[in-house]
Chain A
Amino acid sequence: METGIRNPAVKIAFYAILLLWSVSVIYPLIWTVLDALKNNEQFFLGAPWSLPKIPLIWDNFSYVWKHYHFDRYFVNSFIITVGSTLLGLILSAMTAYVLARYPFKGSGVLYLLYVSSMMIPFILGLIPLFFLMNSLHLINKPIGVIFVYASSLLAFGIFVLVGFFKSLPKELEEASVIDGASHFGTFFRVMLPLSQPGLITIAIVNVLNIWNEYIVGTILINDPRQYTLPVEIAVMQKEMQYRTEWGPLFAGLLFTIVPVLIVYMVFQRKIASGITAGAVK
């Protein structure tokens, strides 16, 4: 049973606040779309909320896609996001399965090590990470960035998946072993498919984080051909001091925002459950 607010004036006031905040969230997005269709003249002469003039400058999209090489950055971001999520997932699933189902001497300590690493600021390792990757010749290599992102996924992945594997009934494994399956077979054929909901939740939360990640990207990549979208957006913004191409900048922002918005709209529930799982440490 839930009760609403009885006083209509209070109710209207609360609605107003909620609507106002919604506008503050949605409006910048709408405005990004509108600004992506303007030319420079409209930026300098019109109000920021003015509608773009007809004809709309659709060329801003193709211009930023080709001239600013967003085609390449989009692919770079995509490969790095998918690669590191898959690698991180398989590594954390394997460890989580053993920690949940095959207790051994020291497994408790190991679990604690992974989970408590979430408490140490990542930034502490940032400088050494650069030199480590440099000495491994992994600077400017997508695979280097993939390794680092995958590693950063482990703590959260293991934390959530240990809980998940523990919640699956033991009989499933026993049945599989009686059927003559090996440990490996049981994991890949029975347990991993069963843990799909957990895996998907972790994957989505990480896809969003990695697609949006900036600082590791900018430290490990300085070759413009290997930039990810956020790294390029930051560089492009700095360039705007010398050449004003606001329309293309906003078009570039859209190429960065739209994919995560789609993921968010499709997987809203999963994201919410991932957040609650991660925060109840």
Chain B
Amino acid sequence: MNTRSAKTQRNLFIAAFILPTFLFFCAFTIYPMLQGLYYSLFDWSGMSDHKTFVGLGNFKDMFKDPIVWQAIGNDYFLVVGKVIGIMVLATFFAVALTRFNFKLAGFFRSIFFIPNVISVVVIGVLWNFIYNPQIGFLNAFLSLFTSEKVDIAWLGFTSHTIWMLLPPAIWAGIGFYMILIIASIQNIPDSLYEASELEGAGQWQQFRSLTLPLVWEQIKVSIIHITMTTLNGSFIIVWIMTEGGPDNSTQVMGSYMYQMAFRQFHFGFGAAIGVLILVVSLITTVILQRLMRQEPIELG
């Protein structure tokens, strides 16, 4: 009797602690995600309850829409640019701030992370000001070297504007990945460095044959993380800085989804782009994992 009531009490406790969170999670996370899949099968303006089932119609339209292809291209452009820019600089900074014995390493580390605690909206506004044709920093700076005042509309070229989104994205991302790589470098036992030191290895050799292979797992995780967050989230900086323009030249999947749904009220089509983002991110992650597969290195 006693053990039975103890068991009941235990079960009650488990239920009381598990269920509220679970219901909450289902309502505000799981349900919207599943609904997203469902909505993508309808033609729906969102204005009325009237939804027309169109099956995969939205997806057919999507693949015929040149802007969708443009957006996918832009997404990958940002992925490649950010992976290269962020990983090279973050790795460099992480090694410099751990292995090179700089006196101000702690100071630099705190400074480099600052962009990561600032809202993407603020970052977008600041960089818009840098690029501003009349009163912006970049034109004023370039004007110092020319006889005439430079007045380039940096965000105004359909052919190049997407390039202008890379510097803010890289600038904002480095600190986070630098911290990850620093943590990973600090896990490498000093004895390994001492041994390589005795063999006369220089900094560059130590980096190539010791640091890089041992932080490779972390670099892999970081590359996948950058890829996922870029495919899923780069539209915020796009939306703040260019709204996908000019003439859709900086449109990414996320911004196009937002525009289609909340500006043009094609909610079904927007939801289909949401599914596209899911599929593209999953496929990309799997491919990346395959490409970067390498025997894990055990610490001896």
Annotate A28-60 by CB proximity to B: 1 below 8 A, 0 otherwise. 110110010000000110011100000000000
Residue A260 interfacial (CB < 8 Å): yes
Residue A193 interfacial (CB < 8 Å): no
A1 is contacted by which of B39, B179, B190 (Cβ under 8 Å)?
B190
A253 is contacted by which of B110, B122, B197, B267 (Cβ under 8 Å)?
B122
Question: In whole Å, how far is A125's beta carbon from the nearest beta carbon of chain B?
Answer: 3
Q: Most chain-A Cβ atoms within 10 A of its Cβ — which of B117, B140, B171, B232?
A: B117
Set of chain B residues within 8 Å of A14, measured between Cβ atoms: 96, 100, 102
Stretch binding the partner chain, chosen from A65-73, A166-174, A211-219: A211-219
Nearest residue, chain B, Cβ from A150: B24
Question: In whole Å, how far is B116's beta carbon from the nearest beta carbon of chain A?
Answer: 8
Residue A94 interfacial (CB < 8 Å): yes
- Interface residues of A, dominant DSSP: helix
Whether A279 contacts B122 in the complex (CB less than 8 A), given A124-B275, A128-B271, A151-B28, comes out as no
Per the CB 8 Å criterion, the residue count for chain B at the interface is 94
In the complex, what distance in Å separates the CA atom of A98 from the CA atom of B46?
41
Set of chain A residues within 8 Å of B129, measured between Cβ atoms: 35, 48
Question: In whole Å, how far is B172's beta carbon from the nearest beta carbon of chain A?
Answer: 10
Set of chain B residues within 8 Å of A256, measured between Cβ atoms: 119, 121-122
B140 is contacted by which of A47, A91, A219 (Cβ under 8 Å)?
A47
User: Of residues 169 to 194 in B, which have CB atoms within 8 Å of A's CB atoms?
Assistant: 171, 176, 179-180, 183, 190, 193-194
Whether A1 contacts B136 in the complex (CB less than 8 A), given A212-B121, A276-B183, comes out as no
User: Of residues 103 to 121 in B, which have CB atoms within 8 Å of A's CB atoms?
Assistant: 104, 108, 110-115, 117-121
Q: Are B240 and A275 in contact (CB under 8 A)?
A: no
Whether A212 contacts B118 in the complex (CB less than 8 A), given A22-B112, A117-B29, comes out as yes
A124 is contacted by which of B22, B136, B278 (Cβ under 8 Å)?
B278
In the complex, what distance in Å separates the CA atom of A117 from the CA atom of B278?
12
A264 is contacted by which of B9, B92, B117 (Cβ under 8 Å)?
B117
Q: Are B36 and A276 in contact (CB under 8 A)?
A: no
User: Of residues 1 to 53 in B, which have CB atoms within 8 Å of A's CB atoms?
Assistant: 9-10, 13-14, 16-18, 20-22, 24-25, 27-33, 35-39, 46
Nearest residue, chain A, Cβ from B203: A5
Interface residues of chain B, those whose CB is within 8 Å of chain A, are: 9-10, 13-14, 16-18, 20-22, 24-25, 27-33, 35-39, 46, 89, 92-93, 96-102, 104, 108, 110-115, 117-122, 124-126, 128-130, 134-137, 140, 171, 176, 179-180, 183, 190, 193-194, 197, 203, 221-222, 225, 228, 231-233, 235-236, 240, 254, 257-258, 261-262, 267, 270-271, 274-275, 277-278, 281, 285
25 contacts between A and B (CB under 8 A): A2-B98, A25-B114, A25-B115, A47-B140, A91-B24, A94-B17, A98-B14, A98-B18, A121-B278, A124-B32, A124-B274, A125-B35, A126-B32, A126-B274, A150-B28, A151-B28, A152-B29, A182-B9, A187-B17, A214-B120, A215-B258, A231-B121, A234-B121, A234-B125, A276-B180
Interface residues of chain A, those whose CB is within 8 Å of chain B, are: 1-5, 11, 14-15, 17-18, 21-22, 24-26, 28-29, 31-32, 35, 43-44, 47-49, 91-92, 94-95, 97-98, 102, 104, 110, 114, 117, 119-132, 147-148, 150-152, 154-155, 158, 182-184, 187, 208, 211-215, 219, 229-231, 233-234, 237, 246, 249, 253, 256-257, 260-261, 263-265, 268, 271-272, 275-276, 279-281
